[in-house]
Structure 1
Amino acid sequence: MSSGTRFSELEDLLSMVKLAQEGGTIGELVNAQKRARHFLNRLSALQSATPAIDTVVRFVRTPITPPRRKPSVEVGPPVEARPNSPSTGEVDGQRQSAPPNSAAVPTPIIMAKRQPAPVRPVSRDNAPAPARSPQASESKYQVDPLEARTYRTLIRIGHEGQQFTVRAINEWLQGKGLELRLGEAGVHESGGVFASSTFAEDDDSKFHRIRLVEKYPDVHFHTELIWSQGSEECWLWIDVSADGDKFASTPRLVRRLVESPNGLIAGYPFGLGFTRISDIDRIPDLVEFLGSEQRDLPVFVAEVESGGDSGNQFLLDARSWARDTAGLATFIALDADSARALREALPARFTPPEGAVRTYLPGVDFENPQDARRHRILGADRMARDSATKVGLLLGTVARRVSQQRPIPGRVRAAQRLIQQAEDRQFLEGLFPSTKTDANQRISGIDHAADHAEAVLLTNEETANVAALKEMLGVSTVTDDFVLELAQSFAERIKPESVMALQDKILKQTASISDFQEEKDLLEAEIQEMNNEFEGLVEESVAMQRRIASLQRKLAMAGKAQEAYEQDEPVDEFAPEDFAELVDHLRDLEKEGVVFTGDKEDVLAVDSFGRNSASMAWKALKALGGYLRAKGDGAFQGNVHQYLNTIPPGYPVYPATRHAPRESETTMKMYGDLRRFAVPSTVDPDGSVTMQAHFKLHKAGMKSPRIHYCDASSMDGRIYVGYIGEHLRVSSTN
C-alpha cells in the first residue's frame, strides 16, 4: 500500500468511524469495524504508530452493543416477598388436569402467553432481586445485554451430594409456589410461574428437565434445568435468560449448592463460590489450578486485609461479589501471607496486586508475558470509587461473558436431544391416541356388549340424531353389520404406518436441528476465540510499530535517517497452497534440522482445511528451523516456547499464543499413548518418544489441526516432527 493511498484511505476511514460513533446504526458500526480491521491487516509492519492509527485501533477494540430501550437498566428493584393469593392478581397453584400423553398439554411459554402478567416485584427467586438492591444514589447501572443477561452453568455433583441436590431442587421449586417435584412429569402454573417437566434416559443415565417461564409486567425469565443421574456421574445444568436487557441474577438454588459443605461439587478443587485461603501450603495447588488447561471458568483472586473495620468490610464485600459469580467462577480471598506466597510463585506480570481483584481467564499461559494482558485487574481506586453493587455487577458480567463464549457441553447437548425426542413422541402419541389394533379390540367387544344390553328408550334428541345419520349415510336400518362396518372405517381413517412414518420424520428432523445448533455453538465459540486472538495480534502489532518508530528516531538522531525510513524490498516467501504441497516440501526442511518422522497420510487427511492451515503449518515448521539456527548462531539460548516469545531479529516468527509446550496432566493420563511418535534410535532406544509440545493451526469448521514435535537439539541438533494432522483426543473431547 503506497503512502498516498494509505493516507487517503485513512482519512476516509476516520470519517466513517466518526459518523458511526455519532449515532450510526448497529449495521453501520459493524461495517466500520470490518473496514478498520481490513485496513490494519494490510498495514505494513514497518508503519510507524500515529494518533490516527491509534484511533482506529481503539475503535476496533471497542465492543458493539445494541441500543437499549432505556438509557440505563434497573438492576435492583426493592426486595419484596412475592404474594401468592388471588387478592394480588395471582392465582393459587393448580395442577393441570391434562394427561402426560395429551397433545393439548401446553408448554410453559404458551401458558405464559395465554395469561396476563400478575402485578409482582421483579424477583425471580422469591428473595433477592437481580444483583441485590442498590442504594438510591446508585439504583441504575448500565449493563451490556449481550454479555450479562444470561446465566448458564454446568455443576458436577459428587455421589454423596445427590440426595442433598434433589432436596434443594424440590425446595427451590416449592419456593416459587410450584407443586412440581423431581420424578414427576406434567405441567404446572402458579402465580405467574409456568412450568413443564419431561423425562428421558439412555443406557447409563436418567435425565429430568424442568422448564420455567416467570412472567412479570416488564420482563419474562426463561429457565432450563436438567438433572442427570447416572452410575458414573451426576450433574446439574441451569440456563437462565431474560427478555430484553435485564440482568439474570444467580439462582438461589446455585448459591445454596456452592455454599454447601465440601464434597458436594466435584471437579473444582477450590469450589464454585467463595473460598478463603490462609494456609500457604495451598498456594502450589492454586498455582497449578490457575495454569491448568482443563480449567474452563474464570478465577477471581483478591487479598483481604486481616482485622480492622476496613478488612472486615472488604471481606463482606468479597463474599457479596462471590454471590454474583457463584456457579460461574471461583472467588478466592487470600490473607497477607498467602498473597505474598502467590506473588512469589507466579511470574511478575501475572501476580495479583495488593488491594486489587485480579481475573484469571481460562487458558493462562504463564510462559508468555503478552498473555498477561488478558487477565484484567480491578484496582483499589476503582473499587473505592464504585459501590460494592457495581463491583459485583462488573465481576458477574465478566463471568457471564466467559460462560456464553463456551459452547454448550457435549453431555448437555446429548441430554437435550434425548429429552426433545421424548417430548416429540409424547406429542405424537397424544395427537394420534388410537391405532387400528386398539380400535379393533373395541369393535370386537360390541357383540359381547349387545348380548348383555337391556332395552332402553332413546331421548328425542338421540332419535333425531339417528334419523339424521341414516339419511346422511343413505341407509334405512342401522343393523349390527352396518355398525361394525362403520366402526371399522373409522378405525382405519389414519393408517398406523403413516403415523409411524410421520413420527420417524419428525424425530430425524429434530436430531438434525440439534446437530445444526451444536455446530452453530462451536462455530460461535471459534469466532470468539479468533476475535480474541486478533485483538491480541493488534496489540502486538501496535507495540511493534511503536518500537520500530522509537528505533527509527534513534537511527535518525545518529545520522542514519535514510536507512531508518527506507522501505525494504518485499520478500516473496514460499507458502504451500494445501497440505498435499506441504508434504512435497517436507524434505526441504531437513537441511534446517527439522525432520518429519510421521505418517504422511495423517497430513493428507486434513488437506480439505485449505490454504490458511497449510500456510500456518509451514510457518510453524520454519520457526522450528529458525530456532535451531538461532541456537547455532549463538543468538538465543532456551526452549522453543521461550524463542517464540523473544524471537531474535532476523529469524522466522510464529505466534507464541498458538504454541503449547505441554499437555495437561489429565490429558496425558487418559490419552498420553496417542502422543507417542517415531524418532531415530539414537534419540530413544525404543524408536519413539512422547511428544507433548505442539503448534495449533487455524481452525476450519469443527476441526483444528496440530503439529507435535520432539526437540532433540541438545542431543543431535535436530527437531523431529512426529505428527501433523487432526486434533488428537484430550480429556475435554466430547
Structure 2
Amino acid sequence: MAAVTLGAEASRSQTSRDYRAFMRSKDPAAVIETVTAEFTRWLGEKGLQQDSHEDARWASDSGSGQVQRETTEGAELLRCQLVEPGTSMGTWTTEVLAASEGWIDVSVSNSQGRFVAVPRLAKALMRDLDLRDASLQLLDNVKLWDVAELDMLVELLQDPDRHGLVLVAGTGPDPGLFDAFRARIHTWTREVFGLAQSIVLTPQATWALAERLSFHAVPAWTLRTYYPGVQPLDAIDSRRHRYMSTATLATEPDAYLRSVLGNVARAHAARRPEPIEVVEARRALDRAETAALLDRLDTPTERPSVTLPGRQETGETRVQTRDADTLPETRELVPQADVMAAIREILRLDEVSPETVRSAFNAMVDQVREAELEQIKTASLRIKEQAARIEELEDRVRLSDELLDDDILERALLQDEATRVNAEVRWLRARLREKEDYEAANGAPPDEFEIDYPQSCLELLDRIAEDDVLVFTGDREEVAAVDEVDTLQLAARAAWDACTSLREYARAHTDGKCSSGVDHFLRHRPAGYEGVSPGKHGATETGVTMRRFGGERVFAVPAEVDTSRSKTMTAHFKLARIGLFSPRLYYYDDLNRTGKIYIGYLGRHLTNTQTN
C-alpha cells in the first residue's frame, strides 16, 4: 500500500486521510464477479494465493483477511477484507463491500493516520466497470469540457445525491498556456480519483459558466472545488466551494497542491454520511458473521479421528498383560474382546497399550484444543473490533455533548450581544433622525465598514506576519488541516475575530483600560473596544486535562520568551463547530515582558477528558 507522508500526522483526523469511495455500476450483474476477480488478482500481487470465489478466512505472516458472501432480500452481498499489520507505517486495512444491486464501497485505512494513496484495486475496478457518481463516470483521468457540456456540468454540480467532489479548472484565452495548465491539472488531482472528478473547461466554457452561475463561477486559471448540492442563487453557499487562486497554483509546489486536494477529497468522504445501502449491507454481514461464530461456539467440537500408521484390520484386539510372578519370556496375550474392542474403536488403535492410549488421547486433546483456540481467537478479534467501535462512538458522544454545551452557552451570549447591538442601532438611528440625517439613519453601511475576512486560515497567517502585536509560532501544516475541513470559512472568520480581540486587548492594555488578562477584557469590555463573546474564549484547561494531556499544549516560542523555546499554553479560542475537528487557537500573553502575544497553535481540537 502506497503512502505519502505529509507531516502533522498526529493532528490530522485519521478518517480524513483514509481512502473511501462509493460507486455505482451501469452493469450491476457484473459487479460481484468483477470485484471477486480483481480482489483475487490483487492478493496475488501481494504474494497471497487466495481464491476469493469461496468464503474463507486466512492468516499468514504478511496479514489476515476474509471473503464473505451473504444473500439478503434477493441481493447478493460480498465483503473482501485484508489486514496488513506490523509494517513500518502501521497497519493497513482494506475492505471492499459490493452488492449485486450494482454498488461498490472501497475503503482503505491506516492505523497511524497516514495519507492513503489511491489504491491499485480501486483503479482496476474503475477500468473494468463503468462506475459512476451520480451522472458522472469515474475515470482515472481529467475531462475536457466545452460549452456543449455545460448543462450536464450544472446539473452535476447541483445534484445533492452526488457523493464525491467535482474539481473544475477555468481557463482563459491564452493558447500557449492552455496545454501546460491542463497537464498540471492531471498532476495536481492524481490523488482524488474515485473520490472526485476533475474537469478542465475551455475558455469559452469558463466564460459561459460565469454567466450562468455568477457567485459559483470559476475564474480563469484557477481550480475550484464543488461540494454536492450547489445552490447557484445563494451567495452564502458559494463560500462552501473554495478555489485555488492563480497565484497559489503558480507558486506552490506540485506535491503541496496534490496533498491539499487529496486531503480535501478524503475529508469530505469521511464527513459524508455512509450510504444507507452500505450501512444495511455491513450490518447484515456482521450479523451473519456473528451468528456463524456463535453457532460454532455452541456446537460441541466433533471428536477428531486419530489414526496411527500401520493399523491392522483384525477382528480381535490383544492387550499385553504381565502377571507379577510371570517372567517376561513366559508372558501371554489375554483377549479382552468386549472392553478392549470399545477402546480400539473409540481411539482407532491397532494395538492397545498404555503408550498407544496415552499418545492417541493426547493427539485428540491437541486437535480439540486447536479447534477451540481458533474459535476463541475469532471471537476475541470480533469482540475487540466491536469494543473499539463502541469506544470510538463513546468518544464521539462525549465530545459532541461538550461541543453542544459550548454551543448553547455561546448562543445565549450571542443573543444577549445581538439584543444589545440592536438596541444600540435603534438608538443611534433615532438620534440621526433627530439630526435630520435621514440618509445615514436609513441607509446601508458603506462597504468600507464591512469586515474584510481572510478566505482561509493560511491567508490569516500571511496577514498577521507583519503585525506589531501578534506573532504566530505554530505549525502551518496544522493550519492547513483546518482549511481542508473549513468549507464555509467559519474557522477562518472566527480566528480573525479572535485575532482582532487580541489586538483590541493589547490596545486596551496600552491605554491603561485593562490589565487583568484577555478573559477579563472580554467579560468586561470597555466602551470603544471590539471583542468576541466571552463564551468563545477559554481562560485555561481543567486540572485533569493538564495532568493527562498537558504535553499536547506545549508550543514553540522565541528564546526571549523562554530559554527552552517552548511554553505551555492553556488560554484558547473556540473557533468553529466542524464535526469532531472543531478547531482551537491557543496563545500566550506576554505583553508585560516582550509586548507580544504569541499564537502557538491553530488546529484541530486537542485531546481532553472528553476525547480519546
In structure 1, the residue matched to 2:103 is: 235
1:201 matched to 2:71? The reply is yes
- Corresponding residue number in structure 2 for 1:337: 204
> What does residue 641 of structure 1 align with?
none
Cα separation, partners in 2 of 1:144 and 1:312, compared to 1, 3 Å:
farther
Structure 1 stretches lacking a partner, 5+ long:
1-123, 132-138, 443-448, 461-475, 491-504, 566-734
SS at match of 2:109: strand
Structure 1 residue 345, shift from structure 2 partner: 1.6
- For residues 359 and 264 of structure 1, do their structure 2 counterparts lie closer, same or farther at Cα, with a shift above 3 Å needed? closer
Shift of 1:286: 1.0
SS of the equivalent of 1:369 reads coil
Match of 1:384 among 238, 250, 255: 250
Counterpart contact for 1:182–1:208, Cα < 8 Å: no
**Match of 1:359?**
225
Does the C-alpha gap of structure 1 residues 517 and 295 become closer, same or farther in structure 2, counting only changes over 3 Å? farther
Q: 1:169 maps to which residue?
A: 39
| Corresponding position of 1:295 | 162
The amino acid of 1:170's aligned partner reads: T
Q: 1:290 Cα deviation (Å)?
A: 0.8
Amino acid at match of 1:167: A
Query: How is 1:460-475 mapped onto 2 (pairs within 5 angstroms)?
Result: none
In the other structure, the counterpart of 1:249 is: 117
Equivalents in 1 of 2:191, 2:117: separation in Å? 7
CA distance in 1, matches of 2:65, 2:179: 42
In the TM superposition, 1:645-684 aligns within 5 A as: none
2:289 pairs with 1:423: yes
> Does structure 2 conserve the Cα–Cα contact (< 8 Å) formed by 1:223 and 1:238?
no
For 1:297-696, what aligned pairs fall within 5 Å after superposition?
A: 297-304=164-171, 310-346=177-213, 348-434=214-300, 453-457=315-319, 479=339, 560=435
- Output the CA distance in 2 between the equivalents of 1:301 and 1:527: 38
Question: Would you tell me which structure has more strand in proportion to its own residues?
Answer: 2
Change (3 A) 1:282 1:176: same
8 Å contact 1:209–1:225 — kept in the other structure? yes
1:145 aligns with one of 1, 12, 18:
12
- Once the two structures are TM-superposed, the CA of residue 251 in structure 1 deviates from its matched residue by 1.1
Q: CA deviation at 1:235?
A: 2.1
Q: Deviations over 1:159-199 (max 9, x none)?
A: 27535544333322222222123213334456633323333
2:55 to 160, 185, 192: 185
When residues 164 and 205 of structure 1 are mapped into structure 2, their CA distance, relative to the original with a 3 A threshold, is same
Cα drift, residue 419 of structure 1: 2.1
The equivalent residue for 1:612 is: none
Q: Which amino acid aligns with 1:179?
A: Q
Give the CA deviation at 1:422.
3.2
Quote the Cα distance in structure 2 between the aligned partners of 1:154 and 1:452.
Answer: 65
Name the amino acid aligned to 2:149.
R
Q: For 1:329-358, what per-residue CA distance to the aligned partner results, in whole angstroms no more than 9, with x for missing partners?
A: 222211212222211221x21111111111
Distance in 2 of aligned mates of 1:221 and 1:193: 9
Once residues 544 and 363 of structure 1 are traced to their aligned partners in structure 2, the CA distance between those partners, rounded to angstroms, is 34
How big is the shift at 1:372? 1.2
* Alignment partners' CA distance in 2, 1:520 and 1:273: 38
Residue identity in the other structure for 1:154: F
Tell me the secondary structure at the aligned position of residue 47 of structure 2: coil
In the other structure, the counterpart of 2:143 is 276
2:193 and 2:317 map into 1 onto residues whose CA distance is 73
1:391-417 per-position Cα deviation (integer Å, ceiling 9, x unaligned): 121112111122111232222222222
Q: State the alpha-carbon separation in 2 of the partners of residues 148 and 278 from structure 1.
A: 30
User: CA offset at residue 283 of structure 1?
Assistant: 0.4
Q: For the Cα contact (< 8 Å) 2:171–2:219, is it kept in 1?
A: no
Q: Partner letter of residue 148 of structure 1?
A: S
| Change in CA separation of 1:199 and 1:366 when aligned onto 2, cut-off 3 Å | same
C-alpha separation in 2, matches of 1:254 and 1:306 = 36
Q: Is the 8 A contact 1:272 1:328 kept in 2?
A: no
CA distance in 2, matches of 1:548, 1:274: 57
Number of corresponding residues: 386
Question: How far apart are residue 434 of structure 1 and its match?
Answer: 3.7
- 8 Å Cα contact 2:195/2:269 also seen in 1: yes
Distance in 1 (alpha carbons) for counterparts of 2:134 and 2:86: 36
Note the alpha carbon deviations across 1:422-464, whole angstroms, 9 max, x for none: 33344344445547xx78x99xxxxxx999633344699xxxx
CA 1:278 to 1:297, structure 2 compared with 1: closer, same or farther past 3 Å?
closer
In structure 1, the residue corresponding to 2:115 is in which secondary structure? coil
- One-letter code of the match for 1:208? L
Structure 2: distance between partners of 1:403 and 1:524: 23
2:153 aligned to which of 286, 293, 313: 286
Alignment deviations for residues 663-700 of structure 1 (CA, whole Å, 9 cap, x no partner):
xxxxxxxxxxxxxxxxxxxxxxxxxxxxxxxxxxxxxx
What CA distance in whole angstroms lies between the structure 2 residues aligned with 1:144 and 1:303? 33
Distance 1:515 1:176, change over 3 A: closer
Helix, strand or coil at the partner of 2:256? helix
Q: 1:155 aligns with which of 14, 20, 23?
A: 23
- 1:662 corresponds in structure 2 to none
**Shift of residue 284 of structure 1?**
0.8
Q: 1:328 & 1:244 partners in 2: Cα distance?
A: 21
3-state secondary structure, aligned to 2:249: helix
Q: Distance in 1 between matches of 2:104 and 2:313?
A: 58
% identical equivalent positions: 22
Q: 1:158–1:266: 8 Å Cα contact kept in structure 2?
A: no
| Cα distance in 1 between the residues matched to 2:16 and 2:191 | 11
Whether the 8 Å contact between 1:290 and 1:364 is mirrored in structure 2 is yes
- Which residue identity does 1:371 align to in structure 2? D
What SS class does the counterpart of residue 196 from structure 1 fall into? Answer: strand
* Distance in structure 2 (CA, Å) of the matches to 1:429 and 1:359: 50
**Distance in 2 separating the partners of 1:180 and 1:264:** 26
Residue aligned with 1:155, SS: strand
Secondary structure of 1:323's match? coil
Distance in 2 (alpha carbons) for counterparts of 1:524 and 1:155: 33
The separation in 2 between residues aligned to 1:318 and 1:374, in whole angstroms, is 21
Q: Give the whole-Å Cα distance in 1 for the aligned partners of 2:78 and 2:65.
A: 13
Deviation at 1:301, TM superposition (A): 1.0
Deviation of residue 366 (structure 1)?
Answer: 2.0
- Asked if the contact 1:174–1:180 (Cα under 8 Å) also holds between the matched residues in 2, the reply is yes
Distance 1:455 1:513, change over 3 A: closer
Whether the 8 Å CA contact 1:145–1:244 is kept in 2: the answer is: no
- Asked if structure 2 preserves the Cα contact closer than 8 Å seen for 1:220 and 1:242, the reply is yes
Amino acid at match of 2:316: E
CA separation in 1, counterparts of 2:207 and 2:21?
32
Mark the runs of 5 or more structure 2 residues left unpaired by the alignment.
306-310, 323-335, 348-363, 365-378, 442-612
Residues 275, 423 of structure 1: alpha-carbon distance in 2 compared, 3 angstrom cutoff: same
After the TM superposition, which residues 124-143 of structure 1 pair with which residues of structure 2 at under 5 Å, given as runs? 124-125=1-2, 129-130=3-4
Shift of 1:545: 11
